[in-house]
C-alpha cells in the first residue's frame, strides 16, 4: 500500500504496530507462558521473571525495553525509536489483558511451533509499520544496518543468548522447545520480510522489440525500460526489454510475448524492492 499523506502514513503505521503488538501478546500469554516455553531477548527475561519470581510480564517488558530504547537513540533514527516505543506500550497493554484462547495441550511442540509462527508474523507486521519490539530487535536492527546480517537471523543469535541459560529455570526439555520456537519465529520473520515489496523482473530478448514493447505498455500502463545490449558472439546490437511487474501480471505477459514472438528469450526473476526507501524493511 502506497500512502502519500504524511499523517495518514503515520496513522497507518501506528495501526499496523498495534495489530502486531496484539498478535505478539497472544503468542506469549496463550502459547508460551501456559506451557512454560521461554523466549529470547527481553521477552525471555519476562517469562523467566514470571516463572522464577512471579513478576508481571508487562512490568518487565516496559522497564527492560525502555533501557534498550535509550540505546536505540544512539544507533537508530528517531522515527524507528518512536514507533518502537509505541509498540512496547501496546505490547505491555495487551500483556495485561486476560488470555484470549485459554489453549492448553500436553503436546508442547504444538504451542512452540504456533508461538514461533505468531511471533514471526507479529514482528514482521511491526517492522512493516516502521517499528521494532525493542529488546533483541533493536540489537538486530543495529546488526542489520552496520553489518548486513538478516534481521531474523540476528534476532535468533541474540535470543539464544537468553534462551539457553533459561534451561536452569524452565528445564532442559522446555529450553529445547524454546530454541524450536525461536528458530521458527526467525524463519517466518525472514520469509515475511522477503515478501514485502516482492515483484517479478522480466527481461525479454526478441527481434520484435517495438511490437512487444507496445503491447506490454498497453497491458501494464506503466514505464518499460529498453536496454541497449550487444551480443558478444555475433557482435550484433540487440535491445532488451526490462519490466518490473506483479506475479499476476508476469503470468499474463509471458503467454502474450510467446504469441508475438515464439522465439523470444524471456527471463523472469524475483525482486524484493522497487523503491529505495523500502530496502530497510525487507532485510
How large a percentage of the chain has pLDDT more than 70? 91
Output the pLDDT for position 283: 47
Annotated domain spans of the chain: 6-195, 199-282
Polymer length of the chain: 283
* Spatial separation of the C-alpha atoms in residues 45 and 159, rounded to whole Å: 10
pLDDT-derived band of residue 253, with 50, 70 and 90 as boundaries? confident
Q: What is the pLDDT of residues 180-228, one digit of tens each?
A: 998 898 889 878 877 766 678 889 999 889 999 988 888 888 778 899 8
- The highest-level CATH class for domain 199-282 is alpha beta
141 burial class (0-12, 13-18, 19+ CB within 10 angstroms)? buried
How much is the average pLDDT of 132-142? 74
Whether the per-residue pLDDT at 269 is higher than 90: the answer is: no
pTM recorded for the entire structure = 0.67
Amino acid at each position: 500500500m502506497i500512502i502519500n499523506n504524511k499523517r495518514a502514513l503515520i496513522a497507518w503505521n501506528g495501526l499496523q504496530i498495534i495489530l502486531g503488538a496484539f498478535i505478539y501478546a497472544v503468542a506469549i500469554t496463550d502459547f508460551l507462558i501456559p506451557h512454560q516455553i521461554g523466549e529470547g531477548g527481553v521477552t525471555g527475561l519476562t517469562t523467566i521473571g514470571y516463572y522464577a519470581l512471579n513478576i508481571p510480564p508487562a512490568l518487565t517488558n516496559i522497564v527492560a525495553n525502555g533501557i534498550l530504547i535509550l540505546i536505540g537513540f544512539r544507533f537508530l533514527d528517531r522515527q524507528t525509536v518512536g514507533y518502537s516505543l509505541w509498540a512496547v506500550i501496546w505490547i505491555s497493554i495487551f500483556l495485561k489483558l486476560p488470555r484470549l484462547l485459554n489453549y492448553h495441550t500436553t503436546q508442547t511442540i504444538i504451542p512452540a511451533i504456533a508461538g514461533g509462527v505468531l511471533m514471526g508474523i507479529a514482528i514482521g507486521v511491526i517492522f512493516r509499520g516502521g517499528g521494532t519490539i525493542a529488546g533483541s530487535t533493536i540489537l538486530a536492527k543495529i546488526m542489520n544496518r552496520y553489518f548486513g546480517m538478516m534481521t531474523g537471523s540476528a534476532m535468533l543469535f541474540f535470543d539464544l543468548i537468553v534462551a539457553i541459560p533459561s534451561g536452569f529455570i524452565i528445564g532442559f526439555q522446555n529450553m529445547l522447545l524454546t530454541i524450536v520456537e525461536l528458530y521458527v519465529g526467525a524463519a517466518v520473520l525472514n520469509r515475511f520480510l522477503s515478501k514485502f515489496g516482492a515483484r517479478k523482473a522480466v527481461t525479454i530478448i526478441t527481434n520484435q522489440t517495438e511490437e512487444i514493447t507496445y503491447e506490454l505498455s498497453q497491458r501494464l500502463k506503466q514505464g518499460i525500460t529498453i536496454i541497449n545490449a550487444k551480443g558478444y558472439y555475433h557482435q550484433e546490437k540487440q535491445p532488451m526489454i526490462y519490466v518490473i511487474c506483479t506475479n499476476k501480471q508476469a503470468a499474463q505477459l509471458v503467454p502474450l510475448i510467446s504469441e508475438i514472438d515464439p522465439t523470444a528469450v524471456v527471463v523472469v526473476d524475483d525482486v524484493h524492492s522497487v523503491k529505495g526507501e523500502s530496502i530497510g524493511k525487507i532485510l
